[in-house]
Amino acid sequence: MRLMILSVFALLGACEQSTEKRVEFPVAPDRADILQTVDAFFLALGAGDADAMEMLHSSVALNVRNAPDDETKLRYHSLQELTDQMRNDDFPVVRERYWDPIVLQRAGLAVAWMPYSIDVNDARLHCGVDVFNLSKHDDGWKIDALSFTIEPSACDELEPEKTTQTHPNYSALDAMED
């Protein structure tokens, strides 16, 4: 018994000594530019502007959908497929808003993670979390992948307080529609 107790203390001591070194990530130096790309993506989506959308992502950008309540849970598409769908005259009016983004950057790579809500033709569709992977090019930040969850029952949990600033600003698009 005494040997077992000593072994437990030795194990605990070894765990304490082998703590992992944690990297502290500073504020992303290009945070504003990265979020400007994300905002431009949603504004292009909201306007149904396939040409603007195409300028924002790489030619091989991936679109990953995760719907926890769906039997097929994960679906993979190219972001170009969404862009091509936008060229259809029947593309719905989409307003996706996000808040409290977390942006990490190291050199020319970045990740932007944010909760969101999406309305289609003025009706709430669902909420979830968007994750953008971006890379820096000579002409700015481009989206390499967009992954998102679809969580219709999580809106109460994820939606921000009324005082929280949401992005992007759709006022110019809304004025054009009036």
122: left (phi over 0), alpha (psi -120 to 50) or beta: left
Residues 45 and 56: beta-carbon distance below 8 Å:
no
Q: What is the pLDDT of residue 69?
A: 75
Q: Which residue has the tokens 């502007």?
A: 49
Residue of 96, 89, 84 whose CA lies nearest to 50: 84
Class of domain 24-177: alpha beta
Q: Is the dihedral of CA 155, 161, 163, 165 positive or negative?
A: negative
Task: Give the pLDDT confidence score for residue 176 in this predicted structure.
Answer: 73
Beta bridge partners of 104: 111
Q: What pLDDT sits at residue 145?
A: 98
Q: Would the pTM of this model clear 0.85, i.e. be above it?
A: no
Residue 25 tokens, joined: 């990530």
pLDDT at site 4: 46
Per-residue pLDDT of the chain (178 residues; tens, 9 = 90+): 454 444 444 444 555 555 677 777 778 999 999 999 999 999 999 999 999 999 999 989 999 999 877 777 899 999 999 999 999 878 898 999 999 999 999 999 999 999 999 999 989 999 999 999 999 999 999 999 999 999 999 999 999 888 889 999 998 877 777 6
Angle, vertex CA 155, rays to CA 154 and CA 159, nearest 5: 125
Domain ranges of the chain: 24-177
d(CA 95, CA 92): 10
pLDDT at 35: 98
What confidence score (pLDDT) does residue 17 get? 54
